[in-house]
Amino acid sequence: MITLIVGIGLLILGYFVYGSYVEKNFQIKPERVTPAKALRDGYDYVPMSKSKNAIIELLNIAGTGPIFGPIMGALYGPVAYLWIVLGCIFAGGVHDYMLGMISLRNNGAHLPELASKYLGKPVKHVVNIFSMLLLLLVATVFVSSPANLIADITPSWMTVGIITALIFIYYLISTVLPIDKALGKVFPIFGAILIISTIAIGVSLLFSGYTIPNLSMQTMQNFNPEGTPIFPALFFTISCGALSGFHATQAPMVSRTTESEKEGRFTFYGMMVGEGIIAMIWAAASMTLFDGQTLSGMINAGTPSAVVNEVSIILLGNVVGTIAIIGVIVLPISSGLSAFRSCRTILADYIGMKQDKIKKILLVAVPLFAISFVLTQIDFNILWRYFNWANQVTAVIALLVSTRYLFLKERNYLITLAPGSFMLYACIVYILSQPIGLQMGLTPLTYILGAVLSLGVLWLFWVTGLRQKNALSPDSQLLNDQWPIKTLRKNNEASELGK
């Protein structure tokens, strides 16, 4: 119990202390006109309130990630708490804030455009591929998981296939709506369900007489019943709730609706902390109610949705527990919708197709839905492994973009370089060792080769950064946060963007 309470307290403290430092290091300009106002188009660029943006950001980034990930991460025991707390404060929160704010300074540009600007044009094509792959995997995972959850609490005739089709129909309808109608109207309701259900699970866990595992010298070990090593697996199992590249695809969407830079810390860093709290509660509940063998059996038998059902019913009873399950269901549905929306806009930007008419929107969206529907036929656990790898590679790219931004502006870039370097090493070791990669296994050679390759990437990153910085003039767009004026839509406020 103590670890859970202290962990949540540290997450909140991290928002006020480290989050404030990150904001100060970025150097916000509250008077600067944001893309929501300068590029207002009534569809993607629409000014919305701080509270709406925050709840949309939370629901966009949450999905089943901060629930399914910690459930599977609970197999490792209380050590999972460490990654959630430290990862959220020093990696995930920084990642989300920096990417959201850099996008805000660049007309709401998505990660591929930002990678092109700060890392070089050739990188843009690689990042486009990774971003769209990640978003398609996210969207598919976040269709499959709620479909399974809904099937567990509905009549037998309501099959997973029928539910999947209904979710896709909802996505298709929502895709052609302006963002303030598609997300702004329903997400506050979804957010209320999520927050209430999460609090209910947490309070019941604390006051129902259960012994919640604590982190101590005795429990600081690997409890995984299958013996899977903590590194690098834990850092891919728990991504949402600690560090997730998927967030880098969502923050730019919210940066297009943000009215002031001073809202950034609450919207981006703060909602990451909120996701970390959700992750702590579900990790604690899974460790408390099930031993490792039982938990592993439930997960391997299908998806972690079985654990969600059991936890909710045990802690809250049939009626309230079902409401809590609904709270979990709305997470992936909302994130799946935003994943498709982001994937559509990234692809449209890449091929140069303006999304100003329904026909053009559907021309991009429908093929993406079709691909995702085919992917839903693949085993969930296989999808999850590929999702996690693509997810963390994207996080590394986002952290390197953020590092280059801070480096060029001569600010403290270690706040992004440190977590970026760690996760780069984890990604390389993962792809060298795992079945989805080179299948070398976790041998000393794998770790050494991973270190050599990581240092090589970082050396190249450093050399190109120095070259880029030396070539810049004092009035460079890179140094003054000005996107090329030709990309701005005609608007009577556009001239204010450079303030």
Give the residue with greater pLDDT, 13 vs 295.
13
Residues 182-202, mean pLDDT to the nearest whole number: 76
| H helix or E strand, kind and range, residue 199 | helix 187-207
- Per-residue pLDDT of 96-114, as tens digits, reads 999 999 999 999 998 988 9
Give the residue with greater pLDDT, 364 vs 413.
413
Whether 61 and 267 have beta carbons less than 8 Å apart is answered as: no
What structural domains does the chain harbor?
Answer: 2-379 (1.20.1740.10)
Q: What does the alpha-carbon distance between residue 68 and residue 279 come to, in Å, rounded to a whole number?
A: 9
Lowest mean pLDDT among 17-21, 126-130, 299-303: 299-303
Give the residue with greater pLDDT, 491 vs 274.
274
Q: Calculate the CA 143 to chain-centre distance.
A: 16
What's the sign of the alpha-carbon dihedral 141, 84, 77, 439? positive
* pLDDT, position 487: 47
Whether 127 and 115 have beta carbons less than 8 Å apart is answered as: yes
pLDDT above 60: residue 62? yes
* pLDDT, position 155: 82
Give the residue with greater pLDDT, 320 vs 79.
79
For the chain, the average pLDDT equals 85
* pLDDT, position 483: 55
The CA-CA-CA angle for residues 415, 420, 422, to 5°, reads: 110
- Per-residue pLDDT of 371-406, as tens digits, reads 888 887 777 667 767 777 888 999 999 999 999 999
Give the residue with greater pLDDT, 73 vs 63.
73
Residues 193-206, mean pLDDT to the nearest whole number: 86
- Per-residue pLDDT of 131-161, as tens digits, reads 888 888 777 777 777 787 788 778 888 888 8
Read off the pLDDT band of 243 (50, 70, 90). Answer: very high
* pLDDT, position 444: 94
Lowest mean pLDDT among 80-84, 289-293, 418-422: 289-293
Q: Looking at this protein, which amino acid is placed at residue 494?
A: A
- Per-residue pLDDT of 17-37, as tens digits, reads 999 999 999 999 999 999 999
Q: Strand, helix or coil at 436?
A: coil
Whether 220 and 79 have beta carbons less than 8 Å apart is answered as: yes
Whether 264 and 196 have beta carbons less than 8 Å apart is answered as: no
Read off the pLDDT band of 476 (50, 70, 90). Answer: confident
Read off the pLDDT band of 422 (50, 70, 90). Answer: very high
Lowest mean pLDDT among 71-75, 144-148, 297-301, 381-385: 381-385
pLDDT above 60: residue 486? no
Read off the pLDDT band of 68 (50, 70, 90). Answer: confident
End-to-end CA distance of the chain: 49
Read off the pLDDT band of 341 (50, 70, 90). Answer: confident
* pLDDT, position 492: 37
Read off the pLDDT band of 357 (50, 70, 90). Answer: confident
Residue 234 tokens, joined: 């834990």
* pLDDT, position 157: 83
- Per-residue pLDDT of 423-435, as tens digits, reads 999 999 999 998 8
Lowest mean pLDDT among 77-81, 181-185, 403-407: 181-185
Q: Calculate the CA 141 to chain-centre distance.
A: 13
Read off the pLDDT band of 454 (50, 70, 90). Answer: very high
- Burial code (b: 16+ CB inside 10 Å, e: under 16) for 79-106 equals bbbbbbbbbbbbbbbbbbbbbbbbbbbb
* pLDDT, position 192: 77
Residues 265-273, mean pLDDT to the nearest whole number: 97
* pLDDT, position 338: 76
Q: Count of CB atoms within 10 A of residue 125's CB?
A: 13
